[in-house]
Each structure stands twice: as structure tokens, then as C-alpha cells.
């Protein structure tokens, strides 16, 4: 890599550093992993700098690389946790933690909803809400089908909605609702246990 390319890359990075850091935070939704993911993605970008320096949207390209790097890092450190499910325990502890401030509670519930999404889904939300891109533009930038982008967006909204229902500002009797959800879960569990027992009795 020649010296002029190093300078070119450094200048580009300096110009977009804040934007990329923000994107890394959005994709990871984890302040500890974000710098690692960003550095790994930038290393890949720099390695291919000769080929991609004239890319029409280098930031979007880097975001795509970050999504893939985030998946790699999570796979390698076995940090994958169950996604797309409302964690009632998490909600209960958040409510306990933020007791007395409805505003903070609501924000933490929204964050929990966003954190439950995949990196690609969060990247779609970032581009939609932060960059103000249309679904078509996001699809173009992330090299995804428009249908997938729309689905990611819908999933993002529904995840947040699932968490935000527990917000005190929404007029919810939170403890009652949590107990209801827990009761439903328990009821389902008992029902499946009974089915298993019935099955054993018949056999």
C-alpha cells in the first residue's frame, strides 16, 4: 500500500469517523464491542482500499462489513443470546432498576427492544431513523432485497412495541401485566407437561 493511499484512507476515516462510530454502536448496541467491530471492519476496508476507494457509498459498504464482523465476533466469543423474544426477567429488572422515573424506564425498554434485534435489523433501523433513507435506498446500500428491509423494519418496530407495553407511561399496570405474561408462560408449560404425561398414560 503506497503512502498516498495511506493518507487518502486516513483522511477519509477522519472525515467519517463519528458517523462510523455511531453506526458501530447501533449495529453492536454494545459499547464494548463497537470499537472492536469498527476496527476489524476498517481493516478489511483498508485492505481492499485500491478496489473500493471509488465506491459510491463507502460508509454503507463499511456498515455491511461491520454487520458481518459483528456476527464473526459474536460467533467466536459465543456471545449469541436468544433474539426476537421478550425477556420478562429483563423487563422486571429494568423496572426495578429504574423505579420512580417513567421516562428512564421507557427509554430502557426501547433499548431492550432494539438490543433484542439482529445486527442487520439494527443497521436497517439506523439507516431508516438516523440517516432518513427510504426502504429502497436502504436496500440498495445494504445490498438486501427491499422486502427483507421492510421486514427488518417491521420486526424492529414490533420488538420495541413488545417491550414498551410494560412502560408505566403507557398506563400499564406493569406488575400485573408481568404476572399475566408469567402466568401465561407457566400455563403453557403446565399444559405441555400434562400432554406429555397423558401421552405416557396412553402408551
Partner 1 sequence: MSNDELDPLIRREFEALGMNIVGNDILADLVIDKVRKRRRRFWFVSAATIFAISTIIAIGYLVGTNSHLLFASNSSAGNIILSNSYEQSSGEKNVLSLPQFARINVTQGKESSRHSSFRFHLHRGEVIEVFTQSKSAMGGVIGNLTINYVRSDGTTTTLQKNPIGTNDANNEFGNTSETGLYTFNFDITDPSYEGQLLVGFLIGHFE
Name which of 55 and 170 has its Cβ closer to partner 1: 170
Residue pair 88/163 in contact (Cβ under 8 Å)? The answer is: no
| Burial class, 167, CB count within 10 angstroms (exposed 0-12 / middle 13-18 / buried 19+) | buried
Does residue 165 interact with partner 1 by CB under 8 A?
yes
**Count of residues that interact with partner 1, criterion CB under 8 A:** 33
Name which of 10 and 134 has its Cβ closer to partner 1: 10
Distance in Å, CB of 143 to partner 1, minimum = 21
**Using the 8-state DSSP alphabet, how is residue 168 labeled?**
G
Residue pair 62/20 in contact (Cβ under 8 Å)? The answer is: yes
Residue of 124, 142, 149, 160 interacting with partner 1 (CB under 8 A) = 160
| Burial class, 94, CB count within 10 angstroms (exposed 0-12 / middle 13-18 / buried 19+) | buried
Name which of 47 and 188 has its Cβ closer to partner 1: 47
Q: Quick one: three-class SS letters along 55-110?
A: CCCHHHHHHHHHHHHHHHHHHHHCCCCCCCCCCHHHHHHHHHHCCCCHHHHHHHHH
Q: What are phi and psi of 171, to 5 degrees?
A: 75, 20
Distance in Å, CB of 54 to partner 1, minimum = 19
Does residue 161 interact with partner 1 by CB under 8 A?
yes
Does residue 15 interact with partner 1 by CB under 8 A?
no
Residue of 110, 172, 178, 181 interacting with partner 1 (CB under 8 A) = 110
Task: State the Cα–Cα distance between residues 121 and 148, nearest whole angstrom.
Answer: 9
Distance in Å, CB of 28 to partner 1, minimum = 10
Distance in Å, CB of 135 to partner 1, minimum = 13
Q: What are phi and psi of 74, to 5 degrees?
A: -65, -40
Residue of 58, 59, 90, 164 interacting with partner 1 (CB under 8 A) = 164
Does residue 9 interact with partner 1 by CB under 8 A?
yes
Does residue 26 interact with partner 1 by CB under 8 A?
yes
Residue pair 24/64 in contact (Cβ under 8 Å)? The answer is: no
Binding site for partner 1 (CB under 8 A): 1, 6, 9-10, 13-14, 17-18, 21-22, 25-26, 39, 42-43, 46-47, 106-107, 110-111, 114, 125-126, 129-130, 156-157, 160-161, 164-165, 170
Amino acid at each position: 500500500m503506497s503512502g498516498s493511499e495511506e493518507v487518502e484512507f486516513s483522511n477519509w476515516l477522519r472525515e467519517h469517523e463519528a458517523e462510523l462510530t455511531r453506526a458501530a454502536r447501533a449495529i453492536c448496541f454494545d459499547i464494548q464491542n463497537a470499537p472492536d467491530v469498527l476496527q476489524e471492519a476498517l481493516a478489511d476496508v483498508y485492505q481492499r482500499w485500491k478496489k473500493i476507494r471509488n465506491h459510491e457509498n463507502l460508509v454503507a459498504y463499511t456498515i455491511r462489513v461491520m454487520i458481518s464482523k459483528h456476527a464473526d465476533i459474536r460467533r467466536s466469543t459465543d456471545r449469541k443470546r436468544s433474539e426476537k423474544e421478550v425477556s420478562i426477567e429483563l423487563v422486571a429488572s429494568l423496572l426495578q432498576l429504574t423505579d420512580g422515573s417513567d421516562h428512564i424506564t421507557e427509554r430502557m425498554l426501547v433499548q431492550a427492544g432494539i438490543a433484542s434485534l439482529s445486527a442487520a435489523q439494527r443497521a436497517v433501523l439506523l439507516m431508516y431513523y438516523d440517516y432518513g433513507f427510504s426502504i429502497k435506498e436502504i436496500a440498495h446500500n445494504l445490498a438486501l432485497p427491499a422486502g427483507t428491509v421492510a421486514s427488518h423494519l417491521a420486526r424492529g418496530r414490533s420488538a420495541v412495541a413488545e417491550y414498551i407495553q410494560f412502560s408505566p407511561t403507557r398506563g400499564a399496570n406493569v406488575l400485573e401485566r408481568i404476572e399475566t405474561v408469567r402466568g401465561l408462560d407457566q400455563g403453557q408449560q403446565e399444559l405441555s407437561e400434562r400432554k406429555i404425561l397423558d401421552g405416557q398414560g396412553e402408551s
